[in-house]
Amino acid sequence: MRDVAAIGVGMTKWGELWDKSLRTIFAETALLAIDDAGVDRIDSMVVGCMSSGLFVGQEHLGSMLADYLGRVPVPAARVESACSSGGLALRQGFIEVASGMSDIVLVAGVEKMTDVTGCEATYALGTAADQEYEGFHGLTFPGLYAMMAVAHMHKYGTTREQLAMVAVKNHDNGSKNPLAQFPFKVTIDAVLNSVLVADPLRILDCSPITDGAAAVILCPADMAKKMKKRVIRIAGSGQATDTIALSSRKDITWIESTDLAARKALAMAGRKIEDLQLFEVHDCFTIAEIMVTEALGIAEKGRGGRAVEEGLTSLTGKFPVNPSGGLKAKGHPVGATGVAQAVEVIKQLRGEAGERQVKGAKRGLTQNMGGTGGSSVVHVFEAE
């Protein structure tokens, strides 16, 4: 296997981009990454997208996006793993470069979610759950994570306020990210008094519906060095699956797929969680970040709520989690999220994260999750 480096990143402002189509959002973002890398060719492209079929009625993205990027006939694949489609696209691109199959690969993630009504978007996102045995009963994604929250609160005494603290922390970080959909702070009171979506989760516990894209250019590390590029190496990649239905899990307060994917990625990198200085994780709901910090080993089992309360995961804490603002403040264009996490970690490791820079960060991790943890993708990045 060859060492793989990320040599270019691209991300545009996220939000409700009513004047932009999926193909435009993708192409503008991909061009930023190509320009940042300073490459004159790409050999292949991999695009993560969860549900262009339901959101914009368009499939066959490989062809359309290669076309609108002006790159036909490069090989192009669309990758889907619900909300971890972007992370999985990164992993496929990594495998493609590491294997020697391609040299310069464009990895992108894109989702255009506001061309449908909120109800239709809720339905499209719901397809990441078991449609016949969860969706059939009127369950939504906030509903599934709410059930995880109730079980976690019951078993470990996690508090409603601790959930709110995740949103407050991530909005604090997001207020320093000009590309975030919601770059402003929120208070605990604002979270606790926001409208209920699925008890106990309120609207400010939920990541938003977002249009956006993110892109990364990968190449062999040796080639990056010859090109005199700053080398940010993908040192580890792990993926794992779990049952699609939440009810089938051994323990609904534990995200096994994240635990397993992280173990694989860290083993490949030859690192422990303590060796890393920043973490971009999948906070689709506040309870998700609490459970993910436990699965990653940042917090002990059952103590993820306490970790955020004690400031362990704040920007200046021992384990800064979601310096970008996370899905909560930055936005969650589902297929793009996993790639945007990589963009943030790469920017941080280059020292280009501005006001939200984690000082002296040399290694970082991304954790991207599909459904209620039916799939997880973890990557470890290192600056050379």
Partner 1 sequence: MPTPSRSWREIPQRYRLEAGKCRGCGYVCFPPRVVCPHCGSREFGQTKLAGAGKLLTYTIIRVPPQPFEDQAPYAVGIAELDDGVKLTAQVVDCDFADLKVGLRVALEFRRVYEEGEAGVIYYGYKFVPE
* Interface with partner 1 (CB under 8 A): 119-120, 122-123, 126, 132-140, 142-143, 146-148, 150-151, 154, 195-201, 245-248, 252
| CB closer to partner 1, 126 vs 238 | 126
Sheet hosting strand 76-79, strand order edge to edge: 76-79, 44-48, 105-111, 212-220, 4-11, 232-241, 375-383, 363-370, 278-280
Q: How far is the CB of 148 from partner 1 (least distance, A)?
A: 7
| CB closer to partner 1, 126 vs 335 | 126
SS3 329: helix
| Angle in degrees, 0-180, between the axes of helices 61-68 and 22-37, rounded to the nearest 10 | 60
| CB closer to partner 1, 96 vs 242 | 242
Query: Annotated catalytic residue: which of 83, 206, 219, 284?
Result: 83
Q: Which of 50, 113, 10 lies closest to 61, judged by CA?
A: 50
| CB closer to partner 1, 196 vs 267 | 196
Q: How far is the CB of 249 from partner 1 (least distance, A)?
A: 8
| CB closer to partner 1, 218 vs 252 | 252
49 among known catalytic residues: no
Torsion angles phi and psi, residue 30, rounded to 5 = -60, -40
Sign, CA torsion 303/304/309/313: positive
Element of type H or E holding 96 = helix 85-98
206 among known catalytic residues: no
Torsion angles phi and psi, residue 250, rounded to 5 = -60, -40
Q: How far is the CB of 137 from partner 1 (least distance, A)?
A: 5
Query: Annotated catalytic residue: which of 152, 171, 332, 379?
Result: 332
Residues 6+ apart with CB under 8 A from 160: 153, 192, 200
Q: How far is the CB of 201 from partner 1 (least distance, A)?
A: 8
Q: How far is the CB of 373 from partner 1 (least distance, A)?
A: 14
Catalytic positions, written as ranges? 83, 332
